Chains A and B, each alone.
Chain A
Amino acid sequence: MNVTKNTEKDRLNFWEKLYLPEIARGLGLTLKQMFKPPMTRQYPEERWEPTGSYRGRPVLVLEEDGERCVACSLCSRVCPALAIEVQAAETTKEKERYPVKFEINMLRCIYCGFCEEVCPEEAIVMSKDYELVFTNQEDAILGKDKLLIPIAQLQDRLEFLRRYK
């Protein structure tokens, strides 16, 4: 019978088998780390500001004269998790169509960014918002009131898209 052995006993050398020197070495490593600057952050007092490339919660771009979205529903079609629901309606504005209802179910969203990629109007973009906490399922469905974000707050992402998309 052909048996390959690789037990702990075979792997360790004499000093390692003694155990105590290894304990001392481990404690030494811990001691060294104590004098290095910390890797962690005091969240929520200290917050991390992501860069433009970060894919946080998808939001709708709000311009001065209203939303950019024309309710073409491509985001909803491309969404692999079926998180987005759009209901279009007619307006008298030059862009005849607008979303009377736009809802993203954040429990379904997987932050893939396909909605942003497919959008012909650059109306839905990924924001820097990563703080998503809900106490029930209904709250996790965000409507237009929570989705529309003024364009001034989204400049980093729009700049990133212009450069790299």
Chain B
Amino acid sequence: MPQITIDGQRIETSAGKTIIEAALDNGINIPHFCWHPGLSVSGNCRMCLVNTGFPRKAADGSFERDENGNSVIGWGPKLAIACATPVAEGMVIDTKGERTEHAQNAIMEFLLINHPLDCPICDEAGQCKLQEYGFLHSKGQSRYNEQKNQKDKRVELGPNVMFDGERCISCSRCIRFADEVAEQPVLTFVQRGDHVTIETFPGTSFDSPYSMNVIDICPVGALTSIDFRFTSRVWEMSFTDSICPGCSRGCNIKVGVRNNEILRLEPRTNMHVNQYWMCDDARLTQYKFVNENRISSPMIRSGNTLAPTTWETATARAAELLKNYKPSEIMVIGSAHGTNEDNYLLAKFAHSTLKTHNVDFFRHLDNHFADTFLRTNDRAPNSHGIVEVGVKHEPSSGVSMDTLVERIKQHAIKAMYVMGDDIAANSDFASALTGIECLIVHASNHNATTALAHVVLASTTYAELEGTFTNMNKRVQYVQPAVATQENERIAGLQMSRWDKFGASNDRWARGERRNCRQNWQIIQNIANLFGADWNYSDSESVFKDIANHIGAFSGMSYNLLQEFQGLTLGKADSPEPKGVVYQSHTLKPN
């Protein structure tokens, strides 16, 4: 275990680590552009140059001391790059001294020679590594009077990634990402010297399902998202930690919201789940349904149309309809898109209030979506969790999804309570559901099932709820609201951008819709109470406490622990996996 000294701080580290890794483990951030913990070391940006040395020894082998008794350091003849220099016993590293600072200033000046400084146009502005270091390690004025290099400014490297050659500082992070992580080695440097730029090999396109991660790791604004380009400045959005609902991997994400609309999704580092990455499909598809085609209030059917109504009327109607049927005639369908809390109360509602054994859920399997990296074949975030909390087929007595169509046709099932899933998207169900007497649906978006429903209860999407998802590796992860509804607008801790915080009714920029939707468990509680259940869960946390008390696998878990450790594995709440150092390359600083 080599002992090293960084800026006067004695650090014990393990052999084989580089200086930058040892520093990061101990909370010291050495400026860098090209180094990324998820990629190989390339050492080409030279930003992480540090002054290194060793205590000088006298001829007799003892350490030389100055007049104050401190050891005399023999500094190296040249600075070393912290990203590629392994630590050695007794090494002394200076990351802030005059010599290091001089080098950092020089590197910044060098990088800025050909950088266009079009920050007002650039999407990266506000979370740019070059801007940040320009502020910290640069003189603020240029000595370069010559013409800057002109390069191509709008090159589509792939269907989702736009490249601006002038902004590029040639750190090669994207090239290494394509080679090592996306495993689609199509990017390369071409030309030499200050003419160097990045291209795809002729006839290829950077269309890997993970290509958009290069936008996040690009330390400048050279790579931008074609989907997002110029939609918003980063500081106008609020970023809320969340979990991707696109598949059972449960990638940790950040949700960027402005004016109550999701504008983009970004990955969030979690070394136990998705490391630093997420897939393009999720980035492009998992936010639009939150913004568009929403059911913004509960509805009940009158004749051929669904009419908006109040929550009291809708829940009373749902309860009234359900009371007409025998328990064995009612089918309750949970949702793998719902949280553990939602499904726990749904199972409790079915078993103890409706007293039916017909409980099951629909699996969203898609083998074409799966790959060997992050994407899985289960397109719902919580299939494992809902089985744990009790939404599962009872083989002895209950009706399952497989026999449901047949039972509806036999009129054995006359009423259905569907939480969240669009089961009518499946054509078999669609034809069967037209013949059902009572269909009560929780839904966030208009779809084929809501078109057939008798009562539609407006539910939240993943971006508006508080709860937990259990991923394919049985890791329970916490989700919090990023988008405001009429219900959650005033809850403590909702992240809001400056726009959302200070907007008044006469501001056009603050008119994002606040929908009248509720979390599934709240709706279920209201209906159950009309059956005389007398539940009084005040928030998602109280439901989760109930789960933790009643279901063994969840025992010991709490929202605080889930947030602290970025998720806990079922049954292992006492021995959480250490969170480790969470590296975020560059993000918006709190403003």
Residues of A within 8 A of B (CB): 70-74, 76-77, 82, 85, 88-90, 95-97, 103, 105, 107-108, 120-121, 137-138, 141
Contact assessment for A88 and B230 in the assembled complex, using a CB-CB cutoff below 8 Å: yes
> Given B120, B233, B509, which contacts A121 in the complex, CB threshold below 8 Å?
B120
> Given A74, A76, A137, which contacts B120 in the complex, CB threshold below 8 Å?
A74
Contact assessment for B509 and A85 in the assembled complex, using a CB-CB cutoff below 8 Å: yes
Contact assessment for A72 and B125 in the assembled complex, using a CB-CB cutoff below 8 Å: yes
Contact assessment for A105 and B502 in the assembled complex, using a CB-CB cutoff below 8 Å: no
Interface of B is mostly: loop
Chain B window 56-85, contacts with chain A (Cβ cutoff 8 Å), 1 for yes, 0 for no: 000000000000000000000000000000
Contact assessment for B121 and A141 in the assembled complex, using a CB-CB cutoff below 8 Å: no
**In the assembled complex, how far is the CB of residue B120 from the closest CB belonging to chain A, in whole angstroms?**
3
Contact assessment for A72 and B233 in the assembled complex, using a CB-CB cutoff below 8 Å: yes
Are A90 and B120 CB-contacts (below 8 A) given A82-B502, A141-B508? no
Are A71 and B502 CB-contacts (below 8 A) given A96-B153, A141-B508? no
- 16 example contacts (A-B, Cβ-Cβ < 8 A) are as follows A70-B120, A74-B120, A76-B236, A77-B236, A82-B499, A82-B502, A82-B503, A82-B507, A85-B507, A85-B508, A103-B509, A105-B506, A105-B507, A107-B506, A120-B120, A138-B506
Are A70 and B121 CB-contacts (below 8 A) given A77-B233, A77-B235, A90-B230? yes
Number of A-B contacts (CB under 8 A): 50
Contact assessment for A72 and B121 in the assembled complex, using a CB-CB cutoff below 8 Å: yes
- Chain A neighbourhood of B502, CB < 8 A: 82
Task: Kindly state whether residue B229 has any CB partner on chain A within 8 Å.
Answer: yes
Closest 6 CB pairs of A and B: A72-B120, A85-B509, A88-B230, A97-B121, A73-B233, A137-B506
Bound Cα distance from A71 to B125, whole angstroms: 13
In B214-264, the 8 Å CB interface with A consists of: 229-233, 235-236
Chain B window 468-508, contacts with chain A (Cβ cutoff 8 Å), 1 for yes, 0 for no: 00000000000000000000000000000011001100111
Task: Kindly state whether residue B195 has any CB partner on chain A within 8 Å.
Answer: no
Contact assessment for A96 and B509 in the assembled complex, using a CB-CB cutoff below 8 Å: no
17 additional contacts (CB under 8 A) given A97-B230, A103-B508:
A70-B120, A70-B121, A71-B230, A73-B233, A74-B120, A76-B236, A77-B236, A82-B507, A85-B507, A88-B232, A90-B229, A97-B121, A103-B509, A105-B506, A108-B507, A120-B119, A121-B120
Task: Kindly state whether residue B102 has any CB partner on chain A within 8 Å.
Answer: no
Task: Kindly state whether residue B10 has any CB partner on chain A within 8 Å.
Answer: no
- Chain B neighbourhood of A70, CB < 8 A: 120-121
Bound Cα distance from A82 to B121, whole angstroms: 21
**In the assembled complex, how far is the CB of residue B231 from the closest CB belonging to chain A, in whole angstroms?**
8
Bound Cα distance from A108 to B508, whole angstroms: 12
Residue of B nearest to A119 (CB): B120
- Chain A neighbourhood of B508, CB < 8 A: 85, 103, 105, 141
Bound Cα distance from A59 to B121, whole angstroms: 20
